[in-house]
Structure 1
Amino acid sequence: MADVLGKAVMDFQQGNYTEDIKTFSSLDEEDVIPIPYLFRNFKEMPKIEQKALKLAYGKVLDIGCGAGSHALYLQDKSLDVTALDNSEGCIAVAKERGVQKTILSPILDYSGDTFDTLLLLMNGIGLAGTLSNLTAFLQHLASLLRENGQILLDSSDIIYMFDEDEDGGFWIPNNGHYYGEVNFTMQYKEWKTEPFDWIYLDYNTLQNACWANGLECELIVSGKHYDYLAKLTLKR
């Protein structure tokens, strides 16, 4: 698959920023990912991300690190942080920006160490792809946790994107799929990804999946737009 995100952040890092990443999904026709947003500092981050970074402790794995903004903040706070991404361009940029420990790998292929904190920000749980993959994904994350470790992740309940009826209910297509499953394509300049699956999880669905897989799930923060931060820990 074309390294769309990597090419975009590399251009920005090298001073060649001329356009943003376009996204096309099964939910809406077109949206954009502003590339400067991927280089934000702590003050520019949403409150949910700020809270997650403040809760991080010990040895940290930043999963889906992108341009390395979260890892850099934690590194500056003297935490032992490793940034992981499956994008060569993102890892190269993270290194250029000063991230000291990086891993180029899909998270499901990585099993080299265990950590006190796993970070999955910017809807990192979306990497599970579909609801049917969630069990294997959570079990793999749990295998990377130390005994008293934590998984910090944010996501959104995208129920608000569906039509609401007079009684306050929502019209969700009865197509056999969980409504948070989305199919995406990303494009940057002449490069375009193959379609890929991404999932947005409502908190109750996440909590039930955690309980079924030996994990405790705690709601830490609820945002203003159906978004939330959750902390997952191993059941005692």
Structure 2
Amino acid sequence: MKDLLGKAILDFQTNNNPQNIITETDISESEEMDINYLFRKYEEMPKIEQKALDLAKGKILDVGCGAGAHSLHLIKKGFDVKAIDISPNSIEACRLRGIQAAEVKDILDLKDETFDTILLLMNGTGIFGKLINTTKYLTHLKTLLNPGGQILIDSSDLIYMFDTDEDGGVWIPMENKDYYGELTFTVEYKGEIDNPFNWLYLDYNTLQNAAHANGFECDLIYEGDNCDYLAKLYI
């Protein structure tokens, strides 16, 4: 990976001629995103993210921290926060922003540490990549939880993006896919295009079933207006 999203984040943080990024998926056209959005403050965040931050407690792990907006808010509130991301540029930006415990790390490689709250926000199920990987990730996340700990994770049901026929049925092209929420993303920045990557959106019922199958309780905490939701997983 060229780490173009991370490059955009670092360019913004260092005022190095930052530009908007362009994202595209295999089921949607390209969209331009203002990189400033990733540096938003609590007051500018969607309700789902605000709710997750309000529920965070104890020692916190921010998975896929990006520019560190969630971590910074929690650190300012006095929490002990570890921020991880697979993007070296993003982690450099986080450190420049004052997040000392920021580390380039894949969640599956994090071991021998436990937390009271694990945050997976901005479509936290995305890191699973494909539906088949859900059990692998949930099993590993369980090893990172302290007794009484919680995982706060958000996602969206993408069923609304597909065509509905006269009988109310939904037409979903499933070529090379096991589930309609499996997307392939590409990111473009300053004329460069990064390698495509898999990104998973899970509807709540599917997440709940996977959670139960892996020994978690799963509560629906909040539903947004765009088929999005926040869930809490715990033992």
Which bracket does the TM-score occupy, shorter chain normalised?
A: over 0.9
Q: Once the 2 structures are TM-superposed, how far is the Cα of residue 222 of structure 1 from its aligned partner? A: 0.5
CA distance 1:181–1:50, shift in 2 (3 Å): same
Aligned length: 234
Aligned position for 2:130: 130
Aligned position for 2:163: 163
Q: Percent identity?
A: 56
Is 1:223 matched up with 2:224? yes
SS in 1 for 2:152: strand
CA contact (8 A) 2:8 2:18 kept: no
Matches within 5 A, 1:26-175: 26-175=26-175
2:154 & 2:42 partners in 1: Cα distance? 16
1:24 & 1:103 partners in 2: Cα distance? 28
Aligned position for 1:202: 203
1:134 & 1:45 partners in 2: Cα distance? 27
Aligned position for 2:25: 25
TM-score, with length taken from structure 1 = 0.96
- Which deviates the most, 13-22 or 137-146? 13-22
How far does the alpha carbon of each residue in 1:70-111 deviate from its partner, in whole angstroms, 9 at most, with x for none? 000000110111111111111111111111211211111111
2:15 & 2:184 partners in 1: Cα distance? 31
How far does the alpha carbon of each residue in 1:135-174 deviate from its partner, in whole angstroms, 9 at most, with x for none? 0011111111111100001100010100122343321124
Aligned position for 2:184: 183
SS in 1 for 2:171: coil
How far does the alpha carbon of each residue in 1:13-34 deviate from its partner, in whole angstroms, 9 at most, with x for none? 1223442111121111312232
Point out where structure 1 has 5 or more consecutive residues left out of the alignment.
Answer: none
SS in 1 for 2:57: coil
SS in 2 for 1:65: coil
Amino acid at match of 1:195: P
Alpha-carbon RMSD across the aligned residues, in angstroms, is 1.2
How far does the alpha carbon of each residue in 1:44-77 deviate from its partner, in whole angstroms, 9 at most, with x for none? 0000000000000000000000011100000011
Amino acid at match of 1:221: Y
TM-score, with length taken from structure 2 = 0.96
1:113 & 1:192 partners in 2: Cα distance? 35
1:77 & 1:169 partners in 2: Cα distance? 47
1:220 & 1:34 partners in 2: Cα distance? 29
SS in 1 for 2:122: coil
SS in 1 for 2:170: coil
Q: Once the 2 structures are TM-superposed, how far is the Cα of residue 112 of structure 1 from its aligned partner? A: 3.4
1:100 & 1:211 partners in 2: Cα distance? 35
